[in-house]
Amino acid sequence: MAPISPDPGFFRERLALARLMLIFTPEACGDRDPFAVLEAVAEHVDVIQVRPKPLGTGGAASPAEAAATFDWTKRVIEFVAELRKMPLVTVDDRVDVALALLKNGCAGVHLGQDDMPVHEARKLLGPDPLIGLSTHNIGQVAEASTLELDYLGFGPIHATTTKGLTQPSGAEAAWVATESSMFPVFAIGGIDRSNVGELTRVGRIAVSSAILNAEDPARAAMELREMLLASE
C-alpha cells in the first residue's frame, strides 16, 4: 500500500488542524464491529491513535504486544484509506510498530513518560513522522519544550482508570499547559459530553470510551466536536 502522502509536511499540516483524537481500543467497542464504529465516526475525528488492550497482568499502563498493535494498526490504515475523510493514524507506545508501518502510511507514535525516550524514537523514525508525548503536570510540559516532538497529551483532566492515571489535573491546568506549550496540546482523561465545554479554550481533546462506549458513537463524536468548537 502506498504511503498516505509523499509530502513530508503532510502529517504536521493535518495535525495543526486536528481537534478530536480518538484513542482506538478495539475491545472497548464491545459486541460491535470495531470497523463499523470507525466508519461511523471517521468524519468527526482527526486522528486515530491505535491502542489495543494489553495482554497479561501488566495493567492498563503496559503497552500492548507488538503483534496485536501491528495487526490492528495496519488494518486501520487500510480501512481509513477507503473512507471519504482519512484521519491520521498513529500508534500508542510501540515505536517498533510505527517504524514498521511508516511505508504503509502510519503517521507516527504516541509515547508515555515511561516509554522509549523521545530522542531515541526520533532517531529511529526520522524527521517526518509525528511523535506525541503524554504529560501530567506543567513541569513535564516545560521539559517537553526541549524535545523533538509534534504534540502533547495532557491529563488526566478528570478521574479515569485509563492507563492507570487517577489524579485529575482539571480543565484550568490544561489551559495553562496549552498556553505555555510550543506544541499543540490534547486534553485527555475522563472527558465526555458532560464536561467537554470546559475545554473550549484548550480546543483539542483525546477521548476513547466517550465515543467507543456510546450508544450512538457517531452522534457522540459529532457532539463532542461541536461542543468543543462552540466558541470558535
Q: Structurally, how many domains does the chain consist of?
A: 1
- Domain residue limits at 107: 10-228
Position 211 scores a pLDDT of 98
Spatial distance between the Cα atoms of 61 and 54, rounded to a whole number of angstroms: 8
The CATH number covering residue 76 comes to 3.20.20.70
pLDDT 10s digits, 191-230: 999 999 999 999 999 999 999 999 999 999 999 999 999 8
Q: Taking 60 as the threshold, does the pLDDT of residue 2 lie above it? A: no
Higher pLDDT, 85 or 2: 85
The answer to whether the CB of 104 falls within 8 A of the CB of 77 is yes
Burial of 189 (C-beta count, 10 Å sphere; 0-12/13-18/19+): buried
Q: Is residue 3 part of a domain?
A: no
pLDDT of residue 97: 98
DSSP state of 163: G
Whether 5 maps to a domain, the answer reads no
36 belongs to a structural domain = yes
Residue type at position 176: V
Contact at 8 Å (CB) between 203 and 151? no
**pLDDT tier at 85, thresholds 50, 70, 90:** confident
In a domain? residue 4: no
Q: Count of H helices and E strands in the chain?
A: 9, 8
pLDDT in tens, 21-75: 999 999 999 999 999 999 999 999 999 999 998 754 444 555 678 999 999 999 9
Residue 1's pLDDT band (boundaries 50, 70, 90)? very low
Look at phi and psi of residue 30 and say left if phi exceeds 0, alpha if psi is from -120 to 50, else beta.
left
Position 1 in a domain: no
